[in-house]
Amino acid sequence: MKNIVQASEAVAIAVKLCSPGVIPIYPITPQTVIVERIADFVNDGELNAELIHTESEHSSISAALGAQAAGVRTFTATASQGLALMHEVLFIVSGMRMPVVMAVANRALSAPINIWNDHQDSVSERDSGWIQLYVESAQEALDTVIQGFRIGENKDVLLPAMVCLDGFTLSHVYEPVEIPSKKEVERFLPRFRPAYTLDPKKPVTMGAIGFPDTYMEFRSEVQKAMLRSSAIIKKTNSDFRKSFKRGYGNGLIEGYRISDADYAIMAMGTVCGTARVVVDELRKNGIKAGLIKVKAFRPFPSAEILAAAKGLKGIAVIDRNISLGYEGALCSELRSLFYSRKGPVIKGYIAGLGGRDITPAHLKKAIKNIGKKGTEWLF
């Protein structure tokens, strides 16, 4: 049975189903609805969790770190400047191998002040050691939160995960959502059993100093875990499909009409819905177009993209972010992947910053201009 719910509420419902023990919260637009609904669940007795009202996002992620270190499944949420304020602690959470799950309602960074959607906030944290999963729909948001806990808590991963949903463009949209039962989720997501916890009866040291003769080894372990997470993400998506009869590509990427395509749009988030419509229209006009939806930005799905892009003549990369002074981050990753490899022409586009609509006309223009050099702004 499907319910019509707001995507933010779908995230909150997923959190309730996963039963975290501690949830530090701080409101920031457009994420606030997520923690408001979680607070409702706690206050109504539907979720047995410690809700910590913190004084800032820096405090929220710090509290999440402490709770996770004490052996408790932990969730939090944020957006934009709030995520930027967490920057210092994000590296600590991943470096200490704490599988916190955090929803990020993607929003543009100031200045000028803007409360609408783009991906600059989370993309700017791509090197912090967090798994990053981008979703397209309310259903995918709910399902990915559940998967995020199972992925991060896997003993071969033990890394935190961001579930990124477009602010307003998705977070405040009402869509039909299949809500699983508590028992179904409990069968899929086992109880969190940490290997080490902060316990005065069995003392351990966490986050100790790393001298020059050991620091690189610690960073290497985080890198290895991130690379291992690719296989865990794929298996988790496969297991989720078996349990709930739905999945998202192979968990890392999802193709649409890509097997015989000459040209493809590559993007993350809600613009992929518009891209599917454009692909169908272009097909009717004799242009063999397809879509490569990137769900996992970290770990970057290199092998999967190479396989999906085999035979393509060109790829139009739609970036809802910009690495100022160069180009969009997704485009840079793709160009790096094909460096020294024979592959398609890659054309980068900057679009949708600050909540600007990305229209079918923009995407058709992107396909048409693939052969042109440089990065192009889609206004």
Query: How is residue 347 written in tokens?
Result: 């054309």
Nearest CA to 290 out of 305, 301, 302, 278 is that of 278
Dump pLDDT digits (tens) for 126-143: 999 999 999 999 999 999
Q: 91 in helix, strand or coil?
A: helix
Angle at 135 between CA 310 and CA 141, to 5 degrees: 145
- Exposure of 93 in the CB half-sphere (CA atoms within 13 A): 34
Task: Summarize the confidence of residues 281-306 as an average pLDDT.
Answer: 98
Dihedral (Cα; 208, 209, 210, 212), 10-degree rounding:
-160
Q: Which one-letter amino acid corresponds to residue 225?
A: A
Q: How far apart are CA 269 and CA 136, in angstroms?
A: 5
Nearest Cα neighbor of 367 from 295, 282, 292, 300 is: 282
Rounded Cα gap, residues 112 and 126, in angstroms? 23
Spell out the alpha helix ranges (H) of 189-270.
215-244
pLDDT digits (tens, 9 = 90+) for 188-222: 999 999 988 999 999 999 999 999 999 999 999 99
Q: Residue 207 in contact with residue 97, Cβ under 8 Å?
A: no
- For 95-115, what is the mean pLDDT? 98
**Whole-number pLDDT of residue 107:** 98
pLDDT score, position 195: 86
For the chain, give the mean pLDDT: 97
Over residues 170-198, the mean pLDDT reads 96
| pLDDT of res. 57 | 98
207 within 8 A of 95, measured Cβ to Cβ: yes
Work out the average pLDDT over 260-274: 98
Q: Residue 236 pLDDT more than 90?
A: yes
Average pLDDT over residues 268-285: 98
Rounded mean pLDDT, 2-27:
98
As assigned by CATH, the class of the 2-244 domain is alpha beta
Q: Under DSSP, is residue 249 helix (H, G, I), strand (E, B) or coil?
A: coil
**Confidence class for position 1, pLDDT limits 50, 70, 90:** confident
Distance CA 84, CA 242 (A): 37
Rounded to a whole number of angstroms, the distance between the first and last alpha carbons of the chain is 40
Give dist(CA 271, CA 119) in Å, integer.
12
pLDDT band at 180 (very low <50, low <70, confident <90, very high): very high
The mean per-residue pLDDT over the stretch 30-52 comes to 98
Q: Where exactly does CATH 3.40.50.970 map onto the chain?
A: 2-244
pLDDT at site 347: 98
Q: How confident is the model at residue 154 (pLDDT cuts 50, 70, 90)?
A: very high
Euclidean distance between CA atoms 370 and 379, whole angstroms:
16
Please compute the mean of the pLDDT values over residues 349-355 and round it to a whole number. Answer: 98
Q: Name the segment(s) of the chain with CATH classification 3.40.50.920.
A: 253-378
CATH entry, 253-378, from 3.30.590.20, 3.40.50.920, 3.40.50.720, 3.30.565.10: 3.40.50.920
Could you report the per-residue pLDDT of 215-232, keeping only the tens digit for each?
Answer: 999 999 999 999 999 999
Q: Which string of DSSP letters, residue by residue, matches 39-63?
A: HHHHHTTSS--EEEE-SSHHHHHHH
- What is the structure's pLDDT at 86? 98
